Amino acid sequence: MPTDTLTAVPRAGAGSGAPTRGAGLPVLPYLLIFLLACALPLAGDNYWTVIATRAAIYWVLVSGLNLIVGYGGQLAIGWVALLTLGAYTASVLAGGNVLPPVPPFAALAVAGACGGLFGLVVGLPALRLRTFYFAMATLGFATIVTQIALAWQDVTGGGIGLPGPALPAPFDSEVGLYYLCLAVAAACTLLSASVAASRFGRGLIAIRDAEVAAEACGISKARLLAAVFVFSGVFAGVAGGLFASLQTYITPEAFTFELSVLFFISILIGGRGSILGPLLGTLILTALPEFAAPLAAWSNFLYAAMLLVIVLTVPGGIAALLDFRGRRARDDDRRVLPDPSRLQRLLDRGESGRGIELQDVSLHFGGVKAIDGLDLAIAPGRIHGLIGPNGSGKTTTLNVISGYVTPQQGGVRQAGAPVPMGQPLACAGRGLARTFQTPRIVGDATVLQNVMMGGHVRAAGTFVESVFRLPRHRRDERALHQDAHDALAAVGLAGLAHLRADRLQHSELRFLEIARALMLHPAYLLLDEPAAGLSADEILRLGELVREISRRGTGVLLVEHHADLIFDICDHVTVLNLGRVLASGTPQEIRQHKEVVSAYLGA
């Protein structure tokens, strides 16, 4: 993520050794824009004030939609439906044609509440539908809302429309309304930026770009999206009410598909995972028809053409162009040097006892038996190696333990108690962390942000507390920062915290995944072929790191192809072949086991 949505950097003196740079810098662009905006009406011409009011209102909506589209990756193209809803709700209530007239600000508040409710309704299909399908569903919803506005003549005035809420003085003048909208826009910017900089913002980009890994970190897509859809819906509803006041008279024709697309394109031109980018995008797109007056009729065409160009050339948008820090030149001579002393604070669970036990687990996919009657135990503080030819069921076993697949038979126990199967989200809460065969990280975010995702479930603050930056949220952020810096130092990536993750080499990504796993203060660590693609040197360091992790009480399951790593560090080895346990014992015993050798060499 570009640096303008910097994770809230803790105050200096936290003793973490973390650099407290740049706390002031990202605020500057916003301050500049705000000051210019405040000064605008003084330029004299009210024409531009009206344009600016419109831009502010659009930004109120877009700042919320940005969290859904830019951060969450859900393509809610038909979001204009909520603007329509908010506008009509506020107008109907203030106009008093159904109920007695409601004071305009109360009407605005109700519009916001309705927006929140319907935001949830529009958004929930996102949990079941693929990208394109969800986009289509939101488009359908937008059409429906417009048609209802047209048809429900008694309430909405049908095609004729109805007057928008008339705000009391001083907001009934153009300048007065402008400052009101500017204030609301500024507030919305702060609130959405707070979410973006919190663990919820990081959680959103995790489910956007690394959904499987997000599950392993315990990030619940359903709960996160629900919260964000309600939050953004409220913004959209309020924007609708303000829009109705600006227009002074609304008809269904004011809420076109083109308007919806404009919101959407602003975010994408601005860049995902950014607040400043979409803000600039909204300002540019709102102002564009005014500057390109002869081309005004072509403005929609231009928006679309801009989107196409951005997608093909700079998919990261304006934000990517402005992200200088994240794009620093790579120093290809970097070496990963773990510092196990930093593990101390992270591995403090001290779980002892029976560990994780698999009992008679069997699983088949279609006709193929992936695992057949498997018994396995991971003891705290020990390293258990799991090896076997391709297709022997190693990764499947790991997936069973981490809840991604459900066995047809058998069960898993942790500390003696049975564990529910098939729930990957629950594993994080039980202190179970894992890495993946191919590193699953968010390329667009920094290394630090990626690591902090791992600690999502360790924070206690709620979504609302993050919106308003209440004390518990700040405590959470400080703790997560501290843990993340410790984890990065422990795995040897300390100097890379602010680099974009997609600039890392493959081997560094492997260690990054381990750092992310350490954020859970895991009682158990499941490693899926962590040595693949590593040089011999790096494999040695990996081995040392894993050994140190286990020495501090964490039980480790190591699935691997690299026989030397296995024999080097494991306390116990299980060999799988065709889903069954071929042999189980100490590395020395396995190395000399005749059947193991033939299984590898082919009988």
> Starting from the edge strand earliest in sequence, which strands make up the sheet with 572-577, in order?
432-434, 524-528, 555-559, 383-387, 572-577, 580-585
**Nearest to other proteins of 291, 365 (CB atom):** 365
**Nearest to other proteins of 190, 306 (CB atom):** 306
| Tokens at 228, concatenated | 């964000």
Tell me if residue 375 falls in helix, strand or coil.
strand
**Nearest to other proteins of 166, 307 (CB atom):** 307
Query: How many C-beta atoms lie closer than 10 Å to residue 558's C-beta?
Result: 28
CB 250 within 8 A of CB 244: yes
| Tally: H helices and E strands in the chain | 24, 12
**Nearest to other proteins of 98, 121 (CB atom):** 121
Q: Tell me the β-bridge partners of 361.
A: 374
CB 140 within 8 A of CB 253: no
Q: Report residue 285 CA to chain centroid gap.
A: 26
**Nearest to other proteins of 152, 249 (CB atom):** 152
Residue type, 467: V
Smallest gap from Cβ 560 to other proteins, in A, equals: 9
**Nearest to other proteins of 23, 304 (CB atom):** 304
Q: Strand locations in 415-458, DSSP E?
A: 417-419, 432-434
Smallest gap from Cβ 388 to other proteins, in A, equals: 9
**Nearest to other proteins of 22, 315 (CB atom):** 315
Rounded Cα distance, 59 and 76, in Å: 16
CB burial of residue 472 (10 Å; 0-12, 13-18, 19+): middle
Which residues, at least 6 apart from 73, have a Cβ–Cβ distance to it below 8 Å? Answer: 131, 204, 205, 207, 208, 209, 272
Select from 27, 275, 60 the least CA-distant residue to 178: 60
Smallest gap from Cβ 291 to other proteins, in A, equals: 18
Residue type, 153: Q
Smallest gap from Cβ 578 to other proteins, in A, equals: 11
Can you give the binding site for other proteins, defined by CB under 8 A? 73, 75, 77, 125, 128-133, 135-137, 139-141, 143-144, 147-148, 150-152, 212, 257, 261, 268, 297-298, 300-301, 303-305, 307-308, 311-312, 315, 365, 389-390, 395, 399, 404-405, 436, 438, 505-506, 509, 529, 532-533, 561-564, 567, 591, 597, 600-603
Smallest gap from Cβ 224 to other proteins, in A, equals: 18
Smallest gap from Cβ 444 to other proteins, in A, equals: 9
**Nearest to other proteins of 90, 135 (CB atom):** 135
Q: Report residue 350 CA to chain centroid gap.
A: 31
Q: Tell me the β-bridge partners of 585.
A: 573
**Nearest to other proteins of 166, 306 (CB atom):** 306
Query: How many C-beta atoms lie closer than 10 Å to residue 137's C-beta?
Result: 18
Tell me if residue 106 falls in helix, strand or coil.
helix
Smallest gap from Cβ 44 to other proteins, in A, equals: 34
**Nearest to other proteins of 28, 305 (CB atom):** 305
Rounded Cα distance, 457 and 215, in Å: 11
Smallest gap from Cβ 479 to other proteins, in A, equals: 29
Smallest gap from Cβ 586 to other proteins, in A, equals: 15
Query: How many C-beta atoms lie closer than 10 Å to residue 422's C-beta?
Result: 11
- H helix or E strand, kind and range, residue 332: none
Q: Report residue 4 CA to chain centroid gap.
A: 16
**Nearest to other proteins of 75, 467 (CB atom):** 75
First-last CA distance in the chain: 52
Rounded Cα distance, 325 and 473, in Å: 26
CB 336 within 8 A of CB 530: no
Smallest gap from Cβ 545 to other proteins, in A, equals: 19
Tell me if residue 26 falls in helix, strand or coil.
coil
Smallest gap from Cβ 419 to other proteins, in A, equals: 18
CB 194 within 8 A of CB 466: yes
**Nearest to other proteins of 405, 451 (CB atom):** 405
CB burial of residue 62 (10 Å; 0-12, 13-18, 19+): buried
**Nearest to other proteins of 152, 468 (CB atom):** 152
Smallest gap from Cβ 45 to other proteins, in A, equals: 29
- H helix or E strand, kind and range, residue 74: none
**Nearest to other proteins of 380, 403 (CB atom):** 403
**Nearest to other proteins of 27, 296 (CB atom):** 296
Smallest gap from Cβ 305 to other proteins, in A, equals: 6
Query: How many C-beta atoms lie closer than 10 Å to residue 415's C-beta?
Result: 16
Rounded Cα distance, 172 and 174, in Å: 7
Smallest gap from Cβ 558 to other proteins, in A, equals: 14
| Tokens at 34, concatenated | 């705000």
Smallest gap from Cβ 491 to other proteins, in A, equals: 18
